[in-house]
């Protein structure tokens, strides 16, 4: 339902509400104005008709009425309004609401106004494009003028770990771990190697640099009991030899 005289009336203005007002606010405004007119000492029949029609259209055909208003260009063109971003957005939003199927109901004046708005919008968009283009040129100029920053890669630091194994473990061979989930060293039996290298298992490099290495230093614990026994036996042997030699020399001299 679209009436050709919709371009000559303002139903929102008749009910004294904003075009974005919710339906219940529109209904409340209608009841308030209708009651005030009915209680007036000089009620006006024309006012009753205008209120009834505005309420009927906004209640049953509000979407069509809003589309018709947008299609007729209720966004006013004044000066350079559409030369800025906000004005252009308002015009684009208004044109987007227009229903192409309703164009046949528009007056020649309405179509002319739409044409003017479209032309103004294109001019505004063209100006915006020029501003953006100039901005990009400035950014590119600054980027070209900025000195290049070269960051050199750095190799990670080496990690040195030291541990000690018992002599029994050294004899039969053992397995050592740098840490819980770190590299594993399978140490063969009775090996004389005391330093083991794990390439790339050290600290990570910086800026794409290679990682450092891991070095494991393994010491074998001394068996002090055996050493003490050997020392005692050595001393006893030396004493016995001395006693024999001393006794032998005495006998030879006698």
Question: pLDDT tens for residues 142-177?
Answer: 556 555 566 777 888 898 989 998 888 888 999 988
- Measure the CA–CA gap between 34 and 52, rounded to whole angstroms: 8
Give the per-residue pLDDT at 131: 75
- 232 located within any domain: no
Q: Are residues 131 and 173 in the same domain?
A: no
- 132 located within any domain: yes
Q: Are residues 48 and 173 in the same domain?
A: no
Indicate the range of 5-14, 208-217, 221-230 predicted with least confidence: 221-230
Inter-axis angle of helices 45-60 and 23-38, to 10 degrees?
Answer: 170
Q: Are residues 78 and 185 in the same domain?
A: no
Q: Are residues 17 and 103 in the same domain?
A: yes
Task: For residue 23, give both structure tokens.
Answer: 């339906």
Q: Are residues 16 and 108 in the same domain?
A: yes
Q: Are residues 134 and 197 in the same domain?
A: no
- 51 located within any domain: yes
- 187 located within any domain: yes
- Measure the CA–CA gap between 162 and 18, rounded to whole angstroms: 82
Q: Are residues 65 and 131 in the same domain?
A: yes
* CATH for 209: 2.60.260.20
- 250 located within any domain: no
DSSP H helices, 101-189, are 108-145, 167-172
Q: How does pLDDT run across 181-195, given as a tens digit for each residue? A: 778 889 899 898 889
- Count structural domains, the chain: 2
- 154 located within any domain: no
Nearest CA to 186 out of 167, 195, 173, 172 is that of: 173
- 84 located within any domain: yes
Q: Choose one of 145, 178, 201: the last residue of a domain.
A: 145
Q: Are residues 137 and 163 in the same domain?
A: no
Q: Are residues 103 and 184 in the same domain?
A: no
CB of 67 closer than 8 Å to CB of 102: yes
CB of 64 closer than 8 Å to CB of 5: no
Determine the average pLDDT of the residues in 91-114.
52
- 242 located within any domain: no
| Number of Cβ atoms within 10 Å of the Cβ of 155 | 15
Q: How does pLDDT run across 19-77, given as a tens digit for each residue? A: 999 999 999 999 999 999 888 888 888 989 999 999 999 999 999 888 888 875 443 43
First to last CA, the chain: 155
Nearest CA to 77 out of 64, 62, 65, 95 is that of: 95
Q: Are residues 131 and 176 in the same domain?
A: no
3-state secondary structure of 174: strand
Q: Strands, DSSP E only, in the chain?
A: 159-165, 174-177, 184-187, 195-198, 214-220
Q: Are residues 123 and 178 in the same domain?
A: no
Q: Are residues 21 and 138 in the same domain?
A: yes
Which domain does 91 fall in, by range? Answer: 4-145
């Amino acid at each position: 339902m679209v009436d050709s005289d919709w371009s000559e009336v303002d139903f929102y203005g008749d009910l004294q509400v904003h075009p974005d007002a919710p339906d219940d606010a529109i209904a409340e405004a209608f009841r308030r104005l209708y009651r005030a007119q009915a209680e007036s000492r000089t009620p006006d029949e024309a006012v009753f008709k205008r209120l009834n029609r505005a309420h009927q259209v906004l209640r049953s055909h509000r979407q069509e009425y809003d589309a018709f208003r947008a299609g007729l260009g209720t966004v006013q063109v004044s000066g350079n309004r559409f030369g800025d971003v906000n004005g252009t957005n308002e015009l684009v939003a208004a044109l987007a609401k227009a229903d192409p199927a309703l164009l046949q109901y528009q007056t020649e004046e309405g179509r002319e106004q739409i044409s003017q708005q479209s032309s103004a919008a294109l001019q505004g968009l063209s100006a915006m494009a020029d501003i953006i283009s100039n901005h990009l040129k400035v950014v590119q100029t600054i980027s070209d003028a900025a000195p290049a920053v070269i960051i050199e890669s750095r190799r990670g630091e080496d990690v040195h770990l030291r541990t000690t194994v018992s002599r029994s473990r050294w004899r039969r061979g053992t397995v050592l771990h740098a840490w819980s989930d770190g590299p594993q060293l399978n140490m063969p039996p009775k090996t004389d190697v005391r330093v083991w290298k794990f390439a790339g298992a050290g600290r990570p490099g910086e800026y794409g640099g290679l990682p450092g290495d891991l070095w494991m230093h393994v010491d074998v614990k001394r068996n002090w009991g055996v050493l003490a026994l050997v020392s005692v036996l050595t001393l006893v042997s030396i004493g016995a030899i001395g006693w024999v030699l001393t006794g032998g020399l005495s006998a030879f001299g006698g």
